[in-house]
Amino acid sequence: MKCRKCGQETFLPFRCPYCGDQFCSEHRLPENHDCPRMDLARAQKEDDDVVVQGPTSYKYRVTYGQPRRAKGRIYFSPKEIKHLAVASLLVIGVGLSYVMFGGIFALMDWTTLSFFAVILTLSFLTHEIAHKVTAQKRGLWAEFRLTLWGAVLTLISVISPLLKLISPGAVMISGPAQMDEVAKISLAGPTVNIVFSTVFLGVAFAIGSSPVQVALFLAALLNGFIALFNLIPIGILDGFKIFSWDKTVWALAFVPSVVLTAISYFMIST
């Protein structure tokens, strides 16, 4: 989001409660962005506001971050689409780079390996978009953004035979939300991966022994692990928010992710 006054890119802008526009921290006050409703700002008398000294004293309320939007509206900004495109290329690169491992990947031709790379990319993107859609349906601002170190580590993973990390970015969310809303937004991503892992396992068992079956088992394993890792109830991971909200719901998601990961790993190992 760009500041309405100076055009500076601002991740969490301040919203002026009088004119409704978004501004950076430097231009958040009405007098600093030539607010067209300055007279209303000076007349504000609410006791719980923050007092700001100007030519005459008036009380001013600051809303930090994006305001609530119309519920149910799903949108993708041009900037977000660019970030998603770069992230997709990085994840596809990681998927194709698995050929350097040899072993089970040696059973795949380039067509099958490409199929695996596409599935891996869709699994990552669908996880993030599930967070985004769930948040936007609740009227929150939510867009995917690349992160510097995440993109760098993912790029290193493309050329490294040892490090394989897929974390080029994440969905950034802003706006007022209750604990249950935050937990449900967090649950959306792992739920998608649990569904994917279940479907890939089922299809793999159905088609019988083939290079494609190997790719499907790997896709099931990766989706199960993505869900399992994100559901660990620590730090900034999805699991911590879900666990803090409802431990039963967390367990109902965590246990299947463990089972799916274990079954997929067993099928690949044997």
Q: Which residue in 33, 37, 38 sits closest to 4, CA to CA?
A: 33
What tokens appear for 134 in the block?
A: 């769930």
| Contact (CB, 8 A) for 97 and 162 | no
pTM of the model: 0.70
| Contact (CB, 8 A) for 119 and 219 | yes
* pLDDT at position 106: 60
E strands in the chain = 14-15, 22-23, 50-52, 58-60, 63-64, 141-146, 169-174
* pLDDT at position 87: 95
Name the residue type at position 86. V
SS3 for 63? strand
Average pLDDT per block of 10 residues along the chain, 270 residues long: 76 71 78 77 50 40 47 84 95 83 64 86 94 92 93 90 84 87 95 96 89 87 93 92 95 97 90
Q: What is the Cα–Cα distance from 67 to 35, expressed in whole angstroms?
A: 18
Q: Which residue has the tokens 């695996």?
A: 116
Name the residue type at position 243. F
* pLDDT at position 52: 41
* pLDDT at position 54: 40
| Contact (CB, 8 A) for 56 and 43 | no
Chain centroid to Cα 267, Å, comes to: 30
Report the residue count for the chain.
270
* pLDDT at position 131: 96
